[in-house]
Amino acid sequence: MIKIPNHIAIIMDGNGRWAKSRGLPTNAGHRAGGQALRKLASAAEKMGIRHLTVYAFSTENWTRPPAEVEGLMRLLQEYLRQYINDAKKSDARLSIIGDTSKLNPELQKQIVELTELTAKKRGLHVQIALNYGGRDEIVRAARKLALRVRDEALSPDAIDEALFEQSLDTAGTPPLDLLIRTGGDIRLSNFMLWQVAYSEIYAVDKLWPDFSPRDLQAALDWYATVERRFGARV
């Protein structure tokens, strides 16, 4: 029986380099990356993947040139509007992870609308990481638990890994099986630091806008050959 990962995550790296190599502005690369994501999400569902998490905008991305950040925010709003329209005929469920409180009000409104529209959908679950950082997520989870302890609603001794996971942005999402990174680098870049503990990691040189359904299939073929031991001996 072929192993299909239940939950995959993608660090979609290389949009800027893709644009630069073609003499295009950086945000043209981000637009091409958004189009690649739509194709990949459709292909992922057909391949039997149930959960897909993608790194769209990190807590560190605010340090990029203002024009690039502004263009990214406009593009995100454009794609969320499209996803809202698609929700009427698609069975995909979309949710956002990250600290959305720092996003502009219109984007926050779209996130709420999209989440509510697709909450009961039973198709591919797509999680989009916006203003997300793995360290920030862990700190926010710790604060939630600390407040419960302060209010005497929780004993410190009751805090274990399972309870901590319930306080993360990804609460209710199955364990991460496979992390894919495009663009040639091999690092986590502050993405899903807790969740990646025992996931398999697949890195490719191909820049994200060029990453195709065929490349996704290659990643799944590689995953099928991996013997997952989770720290044990077999």
Tokens at 19, concatenated:
């644009």
**The Cα angle at residue 168 between residues 144 and 146, in degrees rounded to 5:** 20
Catalytic residue among 13, 136, 177, 215: 13
Catalytic residue among 6, 61, 86, 190: 61
Q: Is 13 a catalytic residue?
A: yes
Q: Is 61 a catalytic residue?
A: yes
- C-alpha distances out from residue 166 to 27, 138, 139, Å: 36, 11, 14
- C-alpha distances out from residue 182 to 12, 48, 81, 187, 216, Å: 6, 21, 26, 11, 11
Determine the straight-line distance between the first and last CA of the chain, rounded to whole angstroms: 19
- DSSP states of 106-121: HHHHHHHHHHHHHTT-
Catalytic residues: 13, 61
